[in-house]
Chain A
Amino acid sequence: MSEVIQLRTCGMFLILLVLVYTLHLVRSNRLSAHLAISWIIAELVFLILILSDNVWAYAKSLVGESAVLYGALLLGTVWIVFLMLDSLTRISSLTVKLKEVNQELALALQRLDCLEEKDRKGLL
Chain B
Amino acid sequence: MKVLLIIPAHNEAKNLPQLIGDIRACKIQYDAVVVDDASSDDTAYVVAGLHVPILRLAANLGIGGAVQTGFKYAVLKGYDIAVQVDGDGQHDPTWLETIIEPVRRGEADCVIGSRYTGKNPDVDYKTPLPRRLGMHFSVGMLFLATGLHITDTTSGFRALNRPAFEFFARSYPVDHPEAEALLMLHQKNFRILEVAVKMRGRVRGKSLFTFTNAMLYPLRVIIGFMGLILQKKG
Would you give the 0/1 interface string for A93-115, flagging 1 where the beta carbon is closer than 8 Å to chain B?
A: 00000110011011101100110
Assess the A103–B68 pair: CB atoms within 8 A: yes
Q: Which residues of B contact A102 (CB under 8 A)?
A: 57-59, 61, 65
Give me the interface of A with B, judged by CB distance under 8 Å. Answer: 98-99, 102-103, 105-107, 109-110, 113-114
Q: Among residues 36 to 71 in chain B, which have CB atoms less than 8 Å away from a CB atom of chain A? A: 53-59, 61, 65, 68-69
Residue of B nearest to A103 (CB): B69
Interface of B is mostly: mixed
Kindly list chain B residues whose C-beta atoms are within 8 Å of the C-beta of A105.
57-58
Contacting pair A107 B76 (CB below 8 A): yes
Nearest Cβ distance between residue A106 and chain B, in whole angstroms? 4
Decide: A103 and B53 in contact? CB cutoff 8 A: no
Chain B residue numbers with a CB within 8 Å of A103 are 57, 61, 65, 68-69, 72
CB of B65 within 8 A of CB of A99, answer yes
Contact A107 B73 (CB under 8 A): yes
Give which listed residue, A98, A107, A114, contacts B59 with CB less than 8 A: A98
State whether A106 touches B35 (Cβ < 8 A): yes
| Residues of B with C-beta under 8 A to A110 | 33, 53-56, 73
Query: In whole angstroms, how far apart are the Cα atoms of A79 and B27 in the complex?
Result: 64
Across-interface contacts of B58 in A (CB, < 8 A):
102, 105-106
- Nearest neighbor of B33 in chain A, beta-carbon distance: A110
Whole-angstrom distance between the alpha carbons of A109 and B57 in the complex? 9
Closest 4 CB pairs of A and B: A106-B55, A103-B69, A106-B57, A110-B55
Q: State how many angstroms separate the Cβ of A110 from the closest Cβ of chain B.
A: 5
Which residues from chain A contact B72 at a C-beta distance below 8 Å?
A: 103, 107
Inter-chain pairs besides A102-B65, A110-B55, 14 sampled, C-beta below 8 Å: A98-B59, A102-B61, A103-B57, A103-B69, A105-B57, A106-B56, A106-B58, A106-B69, A107-B69, A107-B73, A109-B56, A110-B53, A110-B56, A110-B73
